[in-house]
Structure 1
């Protein structure tokens, strides 16, 4: 499994970086002077980052899809006072190269503790038919395993 590397929130303010991210959006856009560039919105569990591909954007756009995890290398710059990545290399990762949990927000709290709190809240519902419905959902084994 590939090491995730640095999370987006921990990227330096400038300089070259290499890390893994999930592609949220990608779009070929026209340049003012003709041609096009690829605009990418990428993320991990810590944050999101805009990225641009200036060289060979059409071919690069075909090499991955939205929701793919990619390994990306580039230079962090600032545009309109926000960081953006100027991509020099990007490739789609195979599923065995990363831990999916690195790309989805997660709570710092214990899931069992939160599930217990949910049960307490359900027990506080005064409307009997509604409480029974909620209890059947919360107590369903397939639900509680998620």
Structure 2
């Protein structure tokens, strides 16, 4: 059973009967005390919300987070934003749908990115750093999870394969900057690039098409968890230099750049400075890329106000070559295999 139309192509006024994934649902009451249900629905293209006014408590049993539903209704505008006027809801078994309709994934080739990551590791001159990186990026559970993990729950690279895409993009920029600035140690910088978000494979969980935080992820955060993971793997390498481990852990713990952004330490080494700027740049450019993907008009136009960037943006759409709409089979197979 396939979706008919994705959320990003819905138009005001059209009637729909289609399948959606419930991202969240919340029962509330009107001032008169009548129950109604607020739904947030999603597919791989975006999100849309809408209220259910009739039989809200009964329908809430069907519309639990992570459930699939078929609904009838109409697209309408409310406060300059599209929402659904929901008229009828029915449960859909997840075995009857194609999960790839609901899980966003990288547009890049997964196998090629994997090869590029391993090629980058092999290019590291410092043998200690290379040994450490090989414990993460050669074989094993961490490597398997890393290749298809999202880089975030939202904002940037928040899709299957996003973490590897983010790290590989950063590695290309880091390689260029390490050659440009003589005070930057390329081996240490690349270690920071590849490991800075490694804790996210433990911080985030992907279940039934939705990304959420694990309990350890909420309690510790990926910076602390990543630093711990690196220490654990370094301990398995005989005589791994203590000062080198400290520098790599510092890169992970400081890469958000500022204390108010969640870093327990601010960058205090040349590599840490460069890493924090590359991470911030790549995150913002991916956010801009996702906004450009959603542009339908050919001309350059202003976006809505972007809270995370604290500004409007003047953007045109991606062309077909930039957009790279074809998803690779490896990502799709992983989605079906691991999330069902």
Matches of 2:92 and 2:125 in 1, distance apart?
Answer: 50
The structure that has the greater radius of gyration is: 2
Work out whether residues 4 and 102 of structure 1, in 8 Å CA contact, stay in contact via their aligned partners in 2: yes
1:15-26 to 2 correspondence within 5 Å? 15-26=14-25
Change (3 A) 1:124 1:6: same
**Offset of 1:97 from its aligned partner?**
1.4
The worse-fitting range, judged by mean Cα deviation, of 41-50 and 115-124 is 115-124
Q: Which runs of 5+ in 2 are unaligned?
A: 148-329, 335-340
**Offset of 1:116 from its aligned partner?**
1.7
Change (3 A) 1:134 1:90: farther
**Alignment correspondent of 2:79:** 80
**Alignment correspondent of 2:29:** 30
Greater RCO (CA < 8 Å, at least 6 residues apart): 1
Matches of 2:110 and 2:69 in 1, distance apart?
Answer: 29
Matches of 2:125 and 2:53 in 1, distance apart?
Answer: 59
Deviations along 1:34-92, one digit per CA (max 9) or x if unpaired, are: 21210010101100001110111000001231011211211111111001111111122
TM-score by length of 2: 0.40
SS at match of 1:18: strand
Work out whether residues 14 and 75 of structure 1, in 8 Å CA contact, stay in contact via their aligned partners in 2: yes
TM-score by length of 1: 0.87
Work out whether residues 7 and 19 of structure 1, in 8 Å CA contact, stay in contact via their aligned partners in 2: no
Matches of 2:128 and 2:21 in 1, distance apart?
Answer: 42
Matches of 2:120 and 2:90 in 1, distance apart?
Answer: 45
Number of residue equivalences: 145
**Offset of 1:130 from its aligned partner?**
4.2
**Alignment correspondent of 2:13:** 14
**Offset of 1:96 from its aligned partner?**
2.4
**Offset of 1:117 from its aligned partner?**
2.1
SS at match of 1:62: helix
In terms of fraction of residues, the more strand-rich structure is 1
**Offset of 1:33 from its aligned partner?**
2.8
